[in-house]
Structure 1
Amino acid sequence: MRDFSNDMENLSLNTATVRQRWNLEQIIDGCARHGIVDISPWRDQVADCGLEKSAKLIRDAGLTVSALCRGGMFPAADARGRQAAIDDNCRAIDEAVALGSRSLVLVVGGLPEGSRDLEGAREQVLDGMRSIQEYALSCNMPLAIEPLHPMYAADRACVNTLKQALDMCDRLGEGVGVAVDVYHVWWDPELREQIMRAGRSGKLFGYHVCDWMVPTQDLLLDRGMMGDGVIDLKKIRGWVEEAGFNGKCEVEIFSAENWWKKDPDEVLKTCIERHQSVV
């Protein structure tokens, strides 16, 4: 495993981690001040700042972009809704290119309104991804499917295990891989096996860290800071690196009643300390 004890180069900040008290310009400035060299911004934050301005601020601060969050949300109740999702994903690809992002993360979407057809929703995801794949390839923009915890199957992502995501990658082919977020997959008994599969196939595009709190007060907005919960972070990073991943460890924390209320400078300091000690 890489030695992170004094490391800053392998830390990336997902901008959701401090989004409640800082806008994107403030986040970029804060990362530069704290020596964080890589970020993963969200599209709404980029839109609020302006795409061209966001790209310039990132470049001028000397930062790189590991991923743009997010594309996806493909399933819809009718053809018009499905086409709207495809069009939005093409715009997301353009934004990722403008920001110099190394990938576009896809949260694929859940059940269409009024539907109970989970397998049908997954087929809609595949159809949607096929519709944007050629354009993404022409833009040299990798697409990273992020499987989400099964509790999100109905409303956010009908792809819930790394195996499901990699099966989709196999069906789709070139330019499509996965982003592994420990919050969503730490519980999976097949996790090591599937991480190795992703590494063998060159499909491991991203790695996200946080922690699972016990008890969890809110299934969306109560992620823990690394080291505060029950995930064996070093074990999972060991698997990811054994599989050949040598990219950034992206801190992504949604924490409405804890970390989002804290001074963002203190949050960044804590992210750095935990990256170097427990990740």
Structure 2
Amino acid sequence: MSDEGTTGGGFDVPSGRPAEMPTPRPGDPRLARLSLNQRTIAGWSLREAIDGTLQAGLGSIGLWREPVATAGLSTAASWIAESGLRVSSLCRGGFFTAADPALRRAAHEENLRAIEEAATLGAPTLVLVPGGLPEGSRDLVGARSQAAQAIAELAPVARAHGVVLGIEPMHPIFTADRGVVSTLAQALDIAEQFPVDEVGVVVDSFHIWWEPDVEQQIGRAGERIVSYQVGDWITPLPADSLLSRGMMGDGHIDFGFLTGAVAAAGYTGDVEVEIFNAEIWAAPGADVMATVLRRYMQLIEPWLQKTEV
């Protein structure tokens, strides 16, 4: 591989292994679709995340509501506008499931605010985490029905704001406490009840890599794919399973296969690197960013132009 458009290697985070390739330089056209999800470098404030994204030469960032709120919505929107960055998505809305009607109403109001925030920030997609089983409940079918009904109430509002709701199916280990929608197939069963400009799906490698017919479901999703997020599945899982996402290439996921399937489905949007990992969060942000750039270039970008799998 040529060194043109790259800089020295360094060490990968969090493995500490010598980098297998040089770090791409800012302006490398192969980075055009790479987006940094804020949670990957959780120690960065919104201002630091914007500056770090720009310094790396990326054109897009995935925002989270909490750091946006810390900065202030109007300030955040101004910073984004001045930076020229695209906002690939805003995370997160959802958490629809509750036994108490008052709690469901409160969740609806919170999601209305999230839609308005997405519109203000110029985010085309609001990522929805459906929520787990209501406290004391074992009615999984009923909880999924609650989530679908809540989305139905939000969909026309989102459309009026120019925002698409992106249902994120979550790995089954999170069914009880975070995501009663466990497969891409289940997410599509809900999304297909609505126009494509109202409700879509998030393809997150960490959550759906195991799904038996994932290639067919990605093809089925087609134009409903509103976000492609990448992070690896590592073992052994840490004590806190929420922090079990690894750097691409450190785990078990075949990113060429998944990325090729997403590309074949017609997705041409940004690719968000979203990683929840205590070791990565503890590392210097610049080192994490450099590893993200290298692993993206090595494992994701070559497959984005595939037209068939």
**TM above 0.5:** yes
SS, match of residue 7 in structure 1? helix
Deviations 1:83-138 (CA, angstroms, capped at 9, x unpaired): 11111111000000000001100001111111111011011101111111111111
Instruction: Choose from 292, 296, 304 the match for 1:271.
Output: 292
- Aligned partner of 2:108 in structure 1 is 86
The residue identity in structure 2 corresponding to 1:259 is: I
> Matches of 1:67 and 1:6 in 2, distance apart?
21
- Aligned partner of 2:307 in structure 1 is none
Unaligned runs of 5+ in 2: 1-23, 301-309
> Matches of 1:108 and 1:50 in 2, distance apart?
26
- Say if 2:271 is the partner of 1:244: no
> Matches of 2:194 and 2:100 in 1, distance apart?
23
**Once the 2 structures are TM-superposed, how far is the Cα of residue 270 of structure 1 from its aligned partner?**
0.9
Within 5 Å, give how 1:141-160 maps onto structure 2.
Answer: 141-160=163-182
Deviations 1:49-93 (CA, angstroms, capped at 9, x unpaired): 110111111121221101000000001111111111111111000
- Aligned partner of 2:94 in structure 1 is 72
Instruction: Choose from 130, 135, 142 the match for 1:108.
Output: 130
- Say if 2:234 is the partner of 1:213: yes
> Matches of 1:102 and 1:263 in 2, distance apart?
30
Q: What's the TM-score, normalizing by structure 2?
A: 0.86
- Say if 2:195 is the partner of 1:178: no
Unaligned runs of 5+ in 1: none
- Aligned partner of 2:4 in structure 1 is none
- Say if 2:188 is the partner of 1:166: yes
Contact 1:6 1:276 in 2 (8 A): no
Instruction: Choose from 146, 149, 153 the match for 1:131.
Output: 153
SS, match of residue 41 in structure 1? strand
**Once the 2 structures are TM-superposed, how far is the Cα of residue 6 of structure 1 from its aligned partner?**
5.6
Contact 2:96 2:147 in 1 (8 A): yes
> Matches of 1:211 and 1:164 in 2, distance apart?
22
Contact 1:75 1:124 in 2 (8 A): yes
Contact 2:215 2:261 in 1 (8 A): yes
> Matches of 2:64 and 2:102 in 1, distance apart?
25
Contact 1:206 1:247 in 2 (8 A): yes
- Say if 2:280 is the partner of 1:262: no
SS, match of residue 60 in structure 1? helix
**Once the 2 structures are TM-superposed, how far is the Cα of residue 216 of structure 1 from its aligned partner?**
2.0
- Aligned partner of 1:235 in structure 2 is 257
> Matches of 2:82 and 2:192 in 1, distance apart?
38
> Matches of 1:76 and 1:11 in 2, distance apart?
36
- Aligned partner of 1:198 in structure 2 is 221
**Once the 2 structures are TM-superposed, how far is the Cα of residue 248 of structure 1 from its aligned partner?**
1.1
The residue identity in structure 2 corresponding to 1:193 is: Q
> Matches of 1:214 and 1:83 in 2, distance apart?
39
Q: What's the TM-score, normalizing by structure 1?
A: 0.95
Contact 1:162 1:180 in 2 (8 A): yes
**Once the 2 structures are TM-superposed, how far is the Cα of residue 7 of structure 1 from its aligned partner?**
1.2
**Once the 2 structures are TM-superposed, how far is the Cα of residue 140 of structure 1 from its aligned partner?**
1.4
> Matches of 1:13 and 1:99 in 2, distance apart?
16
**Once the 2 structures are TM-superposed, how far is the Cα of residue 222 of structure 1 from its aligned partner?**
2.4
- Aligned partner of 2:44 in structure 1 is 22
Structure with the greater alpha carbon radius of gyration:
2
Aligned length: 272
> Matches of 2:235 and 2:95 in 1, distance apart?
29
- Aligned partner of 2:78 in structure 1 is 56
Deviations 1:158-177 (CA, angstroms, capped at 9, x unpaired): 00000000000122344101
> Matches of 2:299 and 2:194 in 1, distance apart?
36
The two structures, once aligned, show a CA RMSD in angstroms of: 1.3
Deviations 1:2-41 (CA, angstroms, capped at 9, x unpaired): xx9961111001100011x211111111111111210111
> Where has structure 1 moved over 3 Å in runs of 4 or more?
none
